[in-house]
Structure 1
Amino acid sequence: MAVLHHACAVPLARAAARSRSLSAVAAPAMMTGVSVPSKARESRVLIGMSEPELQQLALEFGQEKYRGKQLYHLLYQRKVKDIGDFSHLPQVFRNNLQEAGWRVGRSPIYHTVKAADGTVKLLIKLEDNRLIETVGIPVEDENGSVRLTACVSSQVGCPLKCSFCATGKGGFSRNLLSHEIVEQVLAIEEIFKHRVTNVVFMGMGEPMLNMKSVLEAHRCLNKDINIGQRMITISTVGVPNTIRRLASHKLQSTLAVSLHAPNQKLRESIVPSAKSYPLDALMKDCQDYFHQTSRRVSFEYALLAGVNDAEEHAIELAKLLREWARGSHVNLIPFNPIDGSDYRRPYKKAVSRQFKHLSLSFFTIFFTSPWHFQVHLPCMFCEGPGICKCSGVSQSYCECSENKGIRCSCCLWPTEE
């Protein structure tokens, strides 16, 4: 079955720490007479509720307040998936919760794909039978410690229709509820049997078009699941008025902006929604985000051969960032082709050119290699594995590689004539 992939998720690898740093930084029907908390009344889902809310829920079911604390522990520490398995709670409390229509809020994993490098993509089936993607990326450091990043979706599909985005081609269904975002992180932890350390809102959808649920999920991930705010990244292609709104919450999380072009005209051709958000206004809002939060903005730049990878583009990009965003992160991402797209991956020389001009301007540059996305598991804005240019067979089984299942370096880039 065809799976949606999100082109606005180009910063995935940087946030997942798969990137290589190339320069250093310079300068319910309830019991009689019992009410339901307003938040719970909307969904009757336990995941996403805070400890005080769960304590209040316990009281409203005629239980002692400490039962809410036990409920909190079962949800976020033991990560129990079904109310019937809440063995620490009285049977009558469990029965009343279920009879009132309450549920934990954990959707089944519909499909799992694992890459050779350990990256796992999950397809999760929601209550209304719609499907969303989430990705888990494990990274082991030199000391053997594992950092596990969850790349989560914020919408079912995406309405922005960026020109290189497969998710946008699939259309838009609805916004995700906050618990549907949180449960993606819990699903990754279940698969890996390891705590998620980083979360990136870079899956399907535009997070800024679902700000309410994203902020609620952010609170839960930080306060209840204990993921530090600085370990959470929110990505956006740019939606008018939303960056300033996000900045007003004074979060200590990273803002990742999918830029993809150094000027307004070119950006509109790549990101049609940019027509309603002039580049100067976008950059000014990014500057405001930095001033209000003291958090540097990360700019994502998908390199498209013959479109935005020329030397003039590199010079223009460096000038733009010098003017508006000194000290920012820049993530260069060579494009991975998708079906139905005329875009191509750039030559190595074009990537080096971009790096050269940005490094001379003293930016922190990350280069996202396409390699690890190519083996079995494409990145969130790719469709299908493609064909090895050397052997002509599926790149997952590239015969020209010294190690079976791993593409050799000559397969990563188009041959430059």
Structure 2
Amino acid sequence: MSSTDMHPFVHAFTPAIAPPWQARTDYDTFLTMADKFSELAAEHLGKRTDVLAVPLLHDTPDELAQPGGVVRDWKDGACEPVPGRTMPKLVVIERDYAAVAQKMRAVGPLLDTLGTTTKGITVHPDQEIDVLRRRNGTVREGIAAGRPSLDTASDMCEAILALSGTTNGRLATEGFRELERQTGSEGLVELASEREAERITFADTRSQPRSVMTSYEWSGSETGGRRYSPFVINTEHKVALPLHPEYRAMPMVWYVPPLSPVLDAVDAAGGNQDDPDHVFAAVTRLRIPLEYLAELFTAGDADVVAGVLMKLTALRSYMRERTLGEGGDESALKAVGLTAREAEDLRRLLAIAKYQDRYVVPAAHKEDAAARTALENRCPVETSGVPEPRKIMLGTPTLRRNTPAGGRP
């Protein structure tokens, strides 16, 4: 099962043929390893008491305890070692190593009392535990007797889907309700409430990919079918275009026809950049010809490119008037099918959107920033078909080429 290959959908990897010979799922392989480990552990390990160093987790109050987000190293004398504040928490735990395989095959009892916590938000899946008992069956004997079974890969997939807010509307709604309580914000519940009654099962994902739900567990919004700001720019406002659509390319936020040549054409004709009529007329007299842009973006349809440029022009004219305190004439917006609210949204996404608004940015810690920066310009391009591959490093001050002996660069 995957949620990344067709993001933002969740879908099953259904086998095209029966698995040959000893082929099995990874989960079944792990269960076999757990069985053998537990067999050996009964003789060699038994029960033991361990002390765990539990890290200070991201998106929790523990992380906020680091002033300015700077992690000081107590080993170098930068601060005193205080478990849970300046170093990992130290937690004592008893392990029954001989029971690892049994525990792996069941949903544990701590979910009943502690719930599940993601990014500091705790929800209580008591209803889901009962559903899993009916759907997966229960363990009949041993240390996990009576608990929902995780004896097969399908059982585990059912549990994952039942316990995640991205595939369980009830938990998503409960999580946003708790987030509202913690932050004092309003309107968060509405992000998930439209799908509160929906539950995605493993059988659903095997029949077809299923669109995930908006959840407190991550920062993306699927409400109303939206897919981040690229969806707004590409699909709702249609100002981004595909590059060479004849090759089935899709619209991208980088492929917005340039507006500056339109304004240059207005100046060259002695017109007024703030007059939409002057600017609209200049769209046909671009420094970069419409026909050329149409070959790039619309398979030769110049009208589509002209429509995008007119929309961007109307947006610029309206927002400039607003910035200068002149109120803003909405007639130009109406002429291109925009409202004042849509113009504000589009201006924010195109001009002042933060990095997190434009892209899905995975979380990273500040202490890793230096190491990540060193990798930013490493983008080798290899060319095949020569005795020794040529590599060109892009984004660096100089271009380095390794040219085969006697060959041309």
Answer 1 or 2: higher relative contact order, Cα 8 Å, separation at least 6.
1
Between Structure 1 and Structure 2, the one with more strand by share is 1
TM-score range with shorter-chain normalisation?
Answer: under 0.3
* Superposition TM-score, scaled by structure 1 size: 0.23
Between Structure 1 and Structure 2, the one with more helix by share is 2
